[in-house]
Structures are given as structure tokens and as C-alpha cells.
Amino acid sequence: MSRATWKAAWRAALALVGAGSLAVGAAILLAGPAAAGTTLGASAAEKGRYFGTAVAANKLSDNTYVTILNREFNSVTPENEMKIDATEPQQGQFSYGAADQIVNHARSRGMSVRGHTLAWHSQQPGWMQNLSGSTLRQAMLNHVTQVATHFRGQVVTWDVVNEAFADGGSGARRDSNLQRTGNDWIEAAFRAARAADATVKLCYNDYNTDDWSHAKTQAVYAMVRDFKQRGVPIDCVGFQSHFNSGSPYPGNYRTTLSSFAALGVDVQITELDIEGASAATYRSVVEDCLAVARCNGVTVWGIRDSDSWRASQTPLLFTSGGAKKPAYDAVLAALNNGTTPPTTTPPPTTTPPPPGPGACTAAVSVNQWTGGFVATVRVTAGSSAITSWTVTIALPSGATVTNAWNASRSADTGTTRWTNVAYNGRVGAGQSTEFGFQANGTAGSLSPTCAAG
Ligand code: 9MR
């Protein structure tokens, strides 16, 4: 929607409120006018989400590649560089060069990093392929511990375990040397990752889990439900979403995302590519994510078609020459027009919500690098819904905000007050919303306070 159209919608909403049609008016007001972003990352950030891509370290010297990466994306997943064969090529000898290169490239530009992957039946180094039983279990746990410790504070999410379920209708675990160490190997990996990094988001990641009616999807769902019930540390589920003629985008994809989210985990689309790159299908995938409050973001599995593991299917958003494809325009439009109705927010009422006194809290996580940092602030409403919020953060001297998303600020330095924008002031009881900012300097320890309207 253009800015002029938004203005018209805003005026219409105000008129409706005036006329007493509050139920309709409130719905429009909640969506609010949002500025249209011009890149995938900026537009996703306006919706409180990220838009990421898989990155290969050996392409960071390719000008076209890096230009698109830096312009469009605000999240990065190393395509192969954090896998077991890359990070522990000899047992006990860790090698982080290529992964660190990607992490530094991303973080120095304010992009967040998804770590992929700590435990997997595939791309194991030779020494690990030859192990079994308790020796393998110990080696796997040591690997999880070492790698999660190395990247602590640098990656925001880990795919702790990748692809542990079998294809087809069995709903069984995939047979592998790791599975043969005992059915509890997955939860053991999650517990080791949590012990190594207390705050990183821990994901289970898989493919062909997009169709809600598939046995594999239901099997993963049952595992996540069980983990949540027993307190196994799991924060999110990654849906790889490699769509093609044999494994098409399912009409019930949104149901899958929202059903997992209802278990109390975040959901993320982690390796999206679509054979033929249908603009309509790309658009639907993004709209499905925007419709689910706990869908944090979308990662495409490569930048240009020529970067894809399935290049002949031309499944990505940019041509091999680096031009935007129709699918790119569709994704950007979906991000700009999408609304984010939190699935758990109460429906609009016929009377305006009371102006307070509701309470809120704010928590901050910081990604610091030499000379700058990104702070992500989570605002959580207390036992009542809130309709506006202001977070106060005292920045240490030398720290200067350079850009921000999802909040407006009173100042760039010193004591900064951050106020909600039109679309995220209302937070349901116990629910959260996030804003963030990038700054030069050193964050130190930030102590945000929150006041609700
Ligand atoms: O894109 C990756 C490709 O470069 C590797 O050769 C391949 C090796 O297993 O892994 C690809 O990435 C996979 C990802 O790690 C897990 N899900 C499936 C992806 C595509 O195969």
C-alpha cells in the first residue's frame, strides 16, 4: 500500500471510530500505517522479523554476491562452514576459520547469525562416522559443547539437531549412528547446547515437515510437545521448506507453523527455495510467516540461482546475474503489506482498551563486535494488556545509536527513551514484542526499564 493509501486508510479508520464503528476501526488501527521498506531485511524488520540467506564463505570475495547480501539481508546462516566436518575435522581439533569469517562479516554489518548445525547424521567427519555407542555419544556431546561455547554471544539461534526423522509414513526416527546411541540422543544434544550457552535459541530443524498431515510432521510435533512437557530445553523449530514438484508447498503450511507455535516454541523458515521460484508461492510462504506471531523470520537457501544447491531448478530470488526476479518483488510486497495479528492477542472489543495502568518489563540482548553492537529489546506486558510503552536505556558514554527498528527514540546518546510505533504499542497480557537498534561504541551492561501506557 502506498503512503497516500495508508493515509486514506488511517483517515477512514479515524472516521469509523468517530462514527462509533469501533470494532472495525480498532482492527484497522491495530494494523496501523507502516513505512514500506525497500529491502527484504528492512521490510522484515518493520514486521519484527528477519530475512536471511545461507552464505558460503568462499563467495565473500564475489562482488555481486556481497553487494546483494549486504543490501538485502539481516540474518545469515553459514551454508556448510559450521557443520561437524568443517568445525571438527580431526577429533578434538577444532577449526573455525571459515565460520568465523562469515560471522564477522555478518555481525560487523548488524546481521544476526543462525548456527547450522551441531548434531546431524550427515557431513560427519570420517573419524565420527566410524564411532558408535557411548564413545560416539560422548564425542557428539563434546562437539556440541565446544562449538556452542566458541560461538556463544555470536549466534542468536542454533540448529542443535538436524534431520533426525525418517521420510515416508512411518513417523519413526531416521536410522543413523547417532540414533543407535539411544533414543535420547536428541534431548542430550539440546541439554548440552543449553549448558554451553544459556541464552541462544535452540532449534530442531528438518525438511518435509511442512505439510501438517504428514506422518513426519506429526512425529516432530509429538517430540517437541514431549520436550516442552518434560522441560527439555527447546526454543524453536526450523522448517527447511525446500519446495519442488515432489514436495510442493502445502495449503496447510500456515496450520503447521501455528500448531507448532502453539506448543510454546518459535518457528522459523530456515532453508527456503522453491523450484521455478513461483512469485505466488513465495508470497504465500511469507504471508504465512507474517500471520503467525511466533514465526521469527525467513531464510532463503542462497542468494542467486547459481548459488543454489539445486541451481538447475532456479529456485531463488535473484538470477544468476544478480537481478531481482518476480519472486523478489512478491516477497517484498508481502513483507510491506503484511500485517502481524498476534495469534494470541484478544480480538478487538467494542470499547477502547483502558489507558493503563498495566505494567511491562524489558529485557535486552546484545551482539557486540569491535566498535559497535546491535541491541535487541524484548518488551513484555504484565498480567494486563498494554496499549503503549516506553523503554528507557542509559547508554554508556561513547555509544551512539546509528539506526533502529520497531521503535522511535528520544536521543542517540546518553539516556535514550524508546517509544512504540503505530503497529506495536498494543501488547496482549503476558505477550511480547521486540525492537532493536544498532550503535557505535561499546554496550557494556544495559539495564532497560519499561513503562506502560
Ligand atoms: O547447501 C548445502 C550444500 O552446499 C552441501 O553440499 C550439502 C551437503 O549435505 O548441504 C546443503 O545444505 C543442506 C542443509 O545443510 C540441510 N538441509 C538440506 C540442505 C540442502 O541439501
How far is it, in rounded angstroms, from Cα 262 to Cα 252? Answer: 15
421: confidence class by pLDDT, cuts 50, 70, 90: confident
State the average pLDDT over residues 122-147. Answer: 98
For residue 432, what are the CA distances in angstroms to 198, 263, 354?
Answer: 20, 16, 19
Length in residues, the chain: 453
Half-sphere exposure of 44 (CA within 13 A, CB side): 21
Mutate to test the pocket of ligand 1, among 118, 121, 167, 309 (most ligand atoms within 8 A of CB): 309
Higher per-residue confidence, 325 vs 16: 325
Q: What is the pLDDT of residue 338?
A: 64
Determine how β-strand 432-440 pairs with β-strand 201-206: unpaired
> Going by CA atoms, what residue is nearest to atom 21 of ligand 1?
309
State the average pLDDT over residues 139-159. Answer: 98
Q: What is the pLDDT of residue 35?
A: 52
422: confidence class by pLDDT, cuts 50, 70, 90: confident
Neighbour-count burial of 124, counting CB atoms closer than 10 A to its CB (0-12 exposed, 13-18 middle, 19+ buried): buried
Q: How far is the CA of 228 from the centre of ligand 1 (A)?
A: 28
pTM: 0.71
State the average pLDDT over residues 253-257. Answer: 98
Mutate to test the pocket of ligand 1, among 80, 118, 124 (most ligand atoms within 8 A of CB): 80
Q: What is the pLDDT of residue 355?
A: 33
Does position 136 have pLDDT exceeding 50, yes or no? yes
370: confidence class by pLDDT, cuts 50, 70, 90: confident
Closest ligand 1 atom, residue 117 Cα: 15
- Residues near 3 by Cβ (< 8 Å), separated by ≥ 6? 33, 35, 36
Residue pLDDT, tens place only, 153-171? 999 999 999 999 999 999 9
Q: What is the pLDDT of residue 427?
A: 87
Q: What is the pLDDT of residue 286?
A: 98
Does position 368 have pLDDT exceeding 90, yes or no? no
Residue 271 annotated as catalytic = yes
Q: How far is the CA of 418 from the centre of ligand 1 (A)?
A: 41
Does position 238 have pLDDT exceeding 90, yes or no? yes
Does position 389 have pLDDT exceeding 80, yes or no? yes
Does position 405 have pLDDT exceeding 80, yes or no? no
Higher per-residue confidence, 53 vs 36: 53
Percent of the chain scored above 70 by pLDDT? 87
State the average pLDDT over residues 110-124. Answer: 98
Instruction: Give the residue among 227, 103, 189 at the shortest CA–CA distance from 153.
Output: 103
Residue pLDDT, tens place only, 310-366? 999 999 999 999 999 999 999 999 999 865 444 444 444 444 343 345 799 999 888
Q: What is the mean pLDDT of the chain?
A: 89
Considering the candidates 72, 88, 271, 287, report the single residue annotated as catalytic. 271
State the average pLDDT over residues 62-90. Answer: 98
Does position 10 have pLDDT exceeding 50, yes or no? no
Residues with CB under 6 A from ligand 1: 79-80, 122-123, 162, 207, 240, 271, 309
424: confidence class by pLDDT, cuts 50, 70, 90: confident
Closest ligand 1 atom, residue 301 Cα: 1
Q: What is the pLDDT of residue 247?
A: 96
> Going by CA atoms, what residue is nearest to atom 9 of ligand 1?
123
Asked whether 149 and 196 are in contact (CB, 8 A), the reply is yes
Closest ligand 1 atom, residue 54 Cα: 1
Determine if the peptide bond prior to 357 is cis (ω within 30°): yes
Q: What is the pLDDT of residue 357?
A: 54
State the average pLDDT over residues 139-150. Answer: 98
Buried/exposed 249-284: b ≥16 CB within 10 Å, e otherwise:
bbeebbebbbbbbebebbbbbbbbbbbebbbebbbb
